[in-house]
Chain A
Amino acid sequence: MKEKKNSSKMAVCLLLLSAVIIIALMVGSYHISPVQVIQTLLGNGNKLQNFTIFQIRLPRVVLAVIVASALGVSGGILQGITRNPLAEPGMIGINAGAALFVVLWIWAGTTDYYSTLPLFTVLGMPLLAITGSLLSVGLIYLLSSKGGIRPVRFILTGIGVNGGILAVITFYQLSMSKGDYNQVLTWTNGSLWGSSWNYILLTAPLVILLIGAVLFRSKNLDVLALGDELAAGVGLSVAKERLLFLLFATFLAALATSVAGSIAFLGLLGPQIAKKLTGPAHGKMLPMAALISSILLVGADVIAKNLFSPIEIPVGIVVSIVGVPYFIYLMIKER
């Protein structure tokens, strides 16, 4: 009975996602009707429609789904291992570390990455971002470990490290030319601006692989979420498992950041809503979180792209404008 209810919820969410995706493919400076969108997807579009959808809008939507799934699962893992419903990769410095490295990279003079996208840049950005976020997680880990990692201390240290990294980013941002600066701003606040099939080919397999690995071990995550004593009592090597999941969460957040900048609060919202729908078991909750985050991000991107057209605002800002009131609501409710 319960199983059936869950799968029907999943189906509803999938329907919602396809609806948002179709809207995302429809709207823009060249409007395409829903029927035409479906026809084009089935291979019956004219030249202009084919180009708009397959070369411009579809990569962006697919990238949004990949990024959102990665961030949603990453947030879900972090909330599990820290046992704090408010933990989120953006707030505890994982995204900032990745962002710092990419900002340094842009600052060092590779400014043409928006226009030409040479292969090296395409490969280099994710690697760089992953290096950056691993370093920042390593730093947070070192600073907060004192006879083992306490979840709360980990989060708070993350917030501090985040603040420090953001100050350094600001420093580099300010010495850029106005054009570069606006690009970096769009980037540090999260944007799907530079989406292309190249990025998707690179990130999609990795993200799917990582999410698969997390789901495969999701039972251990359930046990960790019960608390250290209980987990140790069941015979789980708490420190090792926590580190492993932390690495998974970091890699996922880093991959997302490398292609879409730092999108805050998505990793908070997705898992939160998913938990309400499916209950706390991570095996069911994490896929749902990926799905919900995707709906949110694709929707937010439609708003970011079209609300003030032709000016595009960073999609991460749209997400935080929706996410923060919800966050505050959670905080007030929690007392």
Chain B
Amino acid sequence: MKRNTIILTAAGVLLLFAGMILSVHIGAKNIPVSEIYRAFFHYDDSLNAKLIREVRLPRMFLAILVGGMLSLAGTMMQGIMRNPIAEPSVMGVTQGATLAVSIAAVSSFVSGVYGNFFMALLGAAGSGMLILIFTMGKASNQSISRILLAGTALSTFFLSLASVVALLGNRSQELAFWVAGGLRQAGWVQVGIVASAGGFFSILAFASAAKINIISLGDDAAAGLGISPERVKLRIILYLVPICGVCVAAAGNIGYLGLFVPHIIRKLTGNDYRRLMPLSFLYGSTILLLADIAARTISAPYELPVGLFTACMGVPVFLMLVRKEKR
């Protein structure tokens, strides 16, 4: 088990590094690697150097941060709900944030990057509260079908409202881009906010890994060990809300990433959340980075929604998990 983890970490880091170089290298204009090196260490005002600093680098960092955080959020949700299918987009948290962002997009009282972030946080908080209502019940009520139906209904609801808002503001196609997810808006401001706010709560989340371990054994076991499951769940959801909120504000609705990444990592390293959470973060980053490269290049000069790629990978895993259900 231990060796597995080391190999997995090393492979993940290598892949991530390769992805980082590719992400800066590939685009509408392929920039040679030597120029990338120059842009870092001998910065001049050439177009390539500017392109790297202002466009490619922030996008790369945003992909890493958002991918990692969404996978982390999915891992934590699966842990506290003891349910392999829980994930921010399946549960409607990201759709709640999407609704809030669409309101921000058509109204005049909040605007700009900070307005978007603020609204996304608000929306994620609202939908997070609803999830709280569904998860605080007895463990016997947390069957997969129940949680899923609740999540599906919530997401439909939020997206419907968002569609009304967008239709009225004549912004529906922009909303669709948002819902499909993508990193077009990446800039240093977005990277800064996601890294600081999201990073802060991610660190808190990593620190709670041991608690999630205990919770995932079951409420009774946790109570026996002197830990109140309700309090830990509440705290984790409080961490989840800002993490999901900043991710949606920066990258839209990237679905299923938080579902399949932790699932695969769990298969490879087991159920210890102290290993599971960092590794999920690492692989979530890598996969979103690679998916973003694919989204930019497959039908260049047009960009495909990156959420399409994550859905392509996530839906089969979802179906497989459902197939394994006993009932």
Enumerate chain A interface residues (CB-CB to B < 8 A): 84, 86, 91, 143-144, 146, 150, 152-153, 155-157, 159-164, 167-168, 170-171, 173-175, 178, 181-182, 185, 189, 264-265, 308, 311, 313-314, 316-317, 320-321, 324-325, 327-328, 331-332, 334-335
Contacts A164-B312, A178-B173, A181-B173 aside, 6 further interface pairs with beta carbons under 8 A come to: A91-B153, A156-B145, A163-B90, A174-B173, A182-B173, A334-B146
Name the B residues within 8 Å of A320 (CB-CB): 156-157, 160
Q: Bound state CA distance, A316 and B160, in angstroms?
A: 8
| B255 partner residues in chain A, CB cutoff 8 A | 163, 167
Q: How far is the CA of A91 from the CA of B152 in the complex (A)?
A: 8
| Distance (whole angstroms) from the CB of B23 to the closest CB of chain A | 22
Q: Is B167 an interface residue (CB 8 A)?
A: yes
Q: What is the bound-complex CA distance between A175 and B177, given in angstroms?
A: 10
5 intermolecular pairs with C-beta atoms under 8 Å apart: A144-B323, A153-B323, A174-B180, A265-B156, A313-B163
Q: When the two chains form their complex, are residues A324 and B176 in contact, meaning their CB atoms are under 8 A apart?
A: no
Q: Which residues of B come within 8 Å of A, CB atoms?
A: 90, 130, 133-134, 137-138, 141, 144-146, 148-150, 152-154, 156-157, 160-161, 163-164, 167-168, 172-173, 176-177, 179-180, 255-256, 302, 304-305, 307-308, 311-312, 315, 318-319, 322-323, 325, 327
From A153, A167, A327, B325 is in contact (CB under 8 Å) with A153
Identify B311's interface contact among A157, A163, A265, A324, CB under 8 A: A163
Interface of chain A, helix or strand or loop or mixed? helix
Q: Tell whether A324 pairs with B152 under 8 Å between CB atoms, given A150-B327, A182-B172, A185-B172.
A: no
The residue that A164 contacts in the complex, of B150, B164, B176, B311, with Cβ under 8 A, is: B311
Whether A311 contacts B168 in the complex (CB less than 8 A), given A143-B319, A144-B323, A155-B145, comes out as yes
Chain B residues whose CB sits within 8 angstroms of the CB of A264 once the complex forms: 156, 160
A32 to B146, CA, bound (A): 47
Bound Cα distance A164, B311 (Å): 7
Determine the chain B residues whose CB is within 8 A of the CB of A321 once the complex forms: 157, 160-161, 164
Q: A150-B327, A157-B322, A308-B168 are in contact. Are A167 and B156 (CB under 8 A)?
A: no
List the B residue with the shortest CB-CB distance to A324: B157
A263: min CB distance to chain B, Å: 11
Complex-state Cα separation, A203 to B227, whole angstroms: 60
Interchain CA distance A264-B173 in the complex, whole Å: 21
Cβ A174 vs Cβ B148 within 8 A: no
Flag if B145 contacts A84 (CB, 8 Å): yes
**Which of A174, A265, A314 is in CB contact (< 8 Å) with B163?**
A314
How far is A168 from B327 in the complex, measured between Cα atoms in Å?
A: 29
Partner of A143, one of B154, B164, B312, B323: B323
> How far, in angstroms, from A147 to B180 measured CA to CA in the complex?
36
* Cross-chain contact of B327 among A153, A159, A189, A317 (Cβ < 8 A): A153
* Bound CA span A4–B311, Å: 53
A178 to B144, CA, bound (A): 38
A327 to B322, CA, bound (A): 22
Q: Is the CB of A328 within 8 A of B168?
A: no
Q: Which residues of B contact A152 (CB under 8 A)?
A: 145, 325, 327
Tell me the complex Cα distance, A335–B140, Å: 9
Report A-chain residues with C-beta under 8 Å of the C-beta of B173: 174, 178, 181-182
* Closest CB in chain B relative to A142 CB, distance in Å: 11
CB distance from A269 to the nearest CB of B (A): 12
- Is the beta-carbon distance between B311 and A167 smaller than 8 angstroms? yes
- CB contacts (< 8 Å) of A332 on chain B: these are 133
Q: Which 9 A-B pairs have the closest CB atoms?
A: A324-B157, A167-B311, A164-B315, A156-B322, A320-B160, A317-B160, A160-B318, A327-B153, A160-B319
Residue in contact with A163 in the complex, picked from B160, B161, B180, B318, CB distance below 8 Å: B318
Q: Chain B residue with minimal CB distance to A164?
A: B315
A171 adjacent to B304 (CB under 8 Å): yes
Docked complex Cα distance between A334 and B142 (Å): 12
CB distance from B105 to the nearest CB of A (A): 16
Chain B residues, CB < 8 A from A182: 167, 172-173
Shortest distance in angstroms between A264's beta carbon and chain B's nearest beta carbon? 6
State A335–B180 Cα separation when bound (angstroms). 34
Minimum Cβ distance to chain B for residue A175 (Å): 7
**Chain B residue with Cβ nearest A181:** B173
Q: Please state if A317 and B311 are interface contacts (CB–CB under 8 Å).
A: no
Interface contact B163-A185, CB-CB below 8 Å: yes
User: B158 — nearest CB in chain A belongs to which residue?
Assistant: A324
Interfacial chain B residues near A189, Cβ < 8 Å: 160, 163
Report A-chain residues with C-beta under 8 Å of the C-beta of B141.
335
Question: Out of A84, A156, A313, A334, which one reaches B164, CB within 8 Å?
Answer: A313
Check B167 against A311 for contact (C-beta < 8 Å). yes
Cα–Cα distance between A101 and B315 once the two chains are bound (Å): 20
* Shortest CB distance A227–B (Å): 13
- Given A152-B145, A159-B152, check contact A185 B176 (CB 8 Å): yes
User: Min CB distance, B296 to chain A, in Å?
Assistant: 15
Question: Chain B residues near A91 (CB, 8 Å)?
Answer: 149, 152-153, 156
> Taking the nearest CB of chain B, how far is it from the CB of A192, in angstroms?
16
- B307's nearest neighbour on chain A, judged by CB, is A167
Q: Which residues of A contact B312 (CB under 8 A)?
A: 164, 167
Q: In whole angstroms, how far apart are the Cα atoms of A166 and B168 in the complex?
A: 23
**Chain B positions within 8 Å of A163 at CB level:** 90, 255-256, 311, 315, 318
Q: In the assembly, what is the distance between CA of A335 and CA of B138, in Å?
A: 9
* Pairwise interchain contact B315-A167, C-beta atoms closer than 8 A: yes
Give every chain B residue within 8 A of A84 (Cβ-Cβ). 145
Q: Nearest chain B CB to A283's CB is how many angstroms away?
A: 27
Contact (Cβ within 8 A) A171 B308: yes
Find the B residue at minimum CB distance from A188.
B163
